[in-house]
Amino acid sequence: MSTTLQPARPTMKKPVDYYRIYVWELPVRLYHGINAVAMILLCVTGYLIGEPHRVFYAAEAYQLYWFGIVRFIHFVSAFIWTFNFAFRIYWGFVGNRYASWRNYFPITKQQRHDIWNVLTTDVLQFRVKNDEIDIGHNSLAAFTYFITFLFFLAQVVTGFALYSSMSTSALPSMFNWIVPIMGGEAVVRFWHHLFMWFFVVFMIVHIYLAFYHDYIEGRGTISSIVGGWKFHREDDDNK
Amino acid sequence: MGLTIWQSMQQKGYSRRDFIQFCTAAATVAGLEHSAVGQVVNAFEKKEKPAVIWMHFQECTCCSESFIRASHPVVLDVLLDVLSLNYTETLMAASGAQAEKSLQDTIKNNKGKYIVLVEGAVPTKDDGVYCMIGGKTAESILQEVSKDAAAIIAWGSCASNGCIQAAKPNPTGATPIHKLVDKPVINVPGCPPIADVMMAVVTHILALGQMPQLDNQGRPKEFYGRRVHDTCYRRAYYDAGLFVEAWDDENARKGYCLYKMGCRGPVTYNACSVVKWNEGTSYPIQSGHGCIGCSEEGFWDNGPFYRHLPKFPGFGIESTADTIGTLVGIATVAGVAAHAVVTNVRKKSVIADVHTEDMKES
Ligand code: HEM
Ligand code: SF4
């Protein structure tokens, strides 16, 4: 499997071996893509629901269904997003080691060490070189995804609680008890709206960091989420 | 005691025709189908006049004010006549010791049969000193009257969810009725509730002798099953995305949807847009003002009323979730940009390394 790169100019340092590793299986990549599209749609339409903008002019209401369409897109994306998320949880139990649910909790000493490592070299940059690069998620990222999953859950719960007032079908109705607990629908809406900003901030940081790792480590981080392959340097500490 | 509704109407000079009319109206108000009128007639011929106690605690009496403006005067007259309204601070002739005696007698003589209507919340802080009647705290009075009651109705938002007394910081510890008594309570929220809804709930209990169907917050489903928004006549403008942007703009004149002006119709369960107010004349949105959500728990704390979202706690009145969110978003972008710059400076050697490998390959 390993390809040895022949030095083009023998005067330079010794050649480096790279392993090709299949990290992200197809279901994981599909999950990621669907999640990304649905989440962007949800944020955009959600924002518009909270802060509607007039885009069309009409003489009368019957000529338009603009806001209805925005809400429709929100609800359709919401269902897709929720089931996609549920699927990912399932895959955390049957997928490969990089998809396993275990990654997302800093249970082992190694993971906690790794979080510290990423914090100091990549985020705060006290140290310059990280010689223990993870193959799958790095432990800090994985833990952040766990926090993100909690927000997923919060958003699904508040979202379906709001949706239960417009629907009599089984799934949303399972959430209508949330409303009185949270102190009424106005409050549920407030939190549902506020959580949107978590996802916006998450997307900014997540996309930046993906590019950052791709750039600094040169191991195909970005392409891995499309094709599934990452490259691992042989002389690096293999985990 | 012991007179049936029909007997007492006869005594007052009502004809059989009046009585049947009343029964029909009562059935209609209670939301029964026409074929159920016979049942109501039957019930009112046999049933004793129910004794009613109407308690007033921390409230402004707007519920009573609303009640006496019901749109079916026949029903109202007769109901007020029919009910033995044995105790109500606002309307009864008796006062002082006499009034207290009347209350005690009603409880004693109608054990398990009388109906308690409660208007107002009950303060629980500092041993309940903030609302006392005849030297007793509201809470102890409530416990006393509710113990042997056949049914308890909580009138208005105060009794159902605390309303303005319970708004932050709730200095008196105002508490809704259903949290204080261990019997089922019918909540009829609203500030005030719609007169015809109040009438219908009372009539339902009288005519059928049972509670109306309640939702998970103890509200009659019939009237609180849908949001104001679901039956609002401006809903077409909402779906079209045509909104009023300012109180005096062209859109307001055209009657567009008031969502952006803070209308709480989408989060408020009430029958305003169907039953309407003042004999079906109008309701707030029809009069050009957004719904303020007066029948929802904590509506005072979810202000400002003229904004779609409540203010963000702790940041003053001007900040919404969106202003905070935008600021955090900008700060994140700035942080990320700074990180990118620092990376290129601090990690020159690492980057150079990756690049030399790159050269080896070519
Ligand atoms: C990334 C995930 C999501 C984001 C960022 C998001 C964002 C938002 C925002 C900002 C609003 C406007 C709230 C307001 O100001 O009134 C909203 C409304 C709403 N969302 Fe979501 N949402 C998400 C997921 C969901 C999910 C999973 C559901 C489940 C069905 C859902 C259902 C709703 C409903 C029912 C409304 C109220 C819409 C209306 O009344 O027209 N959302 N969402
Ligand atoms: S005016 Fe209020 S209740 Fe009516 S459609 Fe608009 S948001 Fe809904």
Q: What is the pLDDT along chain A (239 residues), one digit of tens a residue?
A: 445 555 445 445 566 778 889 999 999 999 999 999 999 999 999 999 998 987 777 778 888 899 999 999 999 999 999 999 999 999 999 999 898 888 888 888 888 888 888 888 888 777 777 667 778 888 888 989 999 999 999 999 999 999 998 888 888 888 888 888 998 899 999 999 999 999 999 999 999 999 998 888 888 899 999 999 998 877 654 44
Domain B5-223: which topology?
Rossmann fold (3.40.50)
Minimum CA–CA partner of A204 in chain B: B333
B357/A5 CB distance under 8 A: yes
Nearest ligand to residue A175 Cα: 1
Residues of A in contact with B296 (CB under 8 A): 184-186
Instruction: For ligand 1, pick from A37, A152, A188, A192 the residue to mutate: most ligand atoms within 8 Å of CB.
Output: A192
Residues of B in contact with A7 (CB under 8 A): 360
Q: Which of residues 47-106 of A touch B (CB under 8 A)?
A: 47, 50-52, 54-56, 58, 61-68, 70
Residues of B in contact with A200 (CB under 8 A): 325, 329
With a cut of 80, say whether residue B353 has pLDDT above it.
no
CATH 3.40.50.700 domain locations along chain B = 5-223
Minimum CA–CA partner of B233 in chain A: A61
Minimum CA–CA partner of A46 in chain B: B322
With a cut of 70, say whether residue B58 has pLDDT above it.
yes
Q: Which CATH homologous superfamily contains domain B228-301?
A: Cytochrome-c3 hydrogenase, C-terminal domain (4.10.480.10)
B347/A125 CB distance under 8 A: yes
Q: How much is the pTM?
A: 0.87
CA–CA separation, B203 and B25 (whole Å): 10
Task: Tell me which of A114-123, B10-19, B287-296 is least confident.
Answer: A114-123
Q: Domain limits of chain A?
A: 18-53+63-107+140-238
Minimum CA–CA partner of B329 in chain A: A201
ipTM for the complex?
0.84
Paired tokens of B68: 């006496």
Q: CB of A196 closer than 6 A to ligand 1?
A: yes
pLDDT of residue A238: 45
Domain A18-53+63-107+140-238: which topology?
Fumarate Reductase Cytochrome B subunit (1.20.950)
β-strand B151-155 against B115-119: which pairing, if any? parallel
Q: CB of B263 closer than 6 A to ligand 2?
A: yes
pLDDT in tens, B104-142: 888 998 888 889 999 999 999 999 999 999 889 999 999
Nearest ligand to residue A41 Cα: 1
pLDDT of residue A31: 96
Residues of A in contact with B343 (CB under 8 A): 125, 212, 215-216
Q: How confident is the model at residue B362 (pLDDT cuts 50, 70, 90)?
A: very low
B340/A9 CB distance under 8 A: no
CATH 4.10.480.10 domain locations along chain B = 228-301
Gap from CA of A145 to ligand 1 centroid (Å): 21
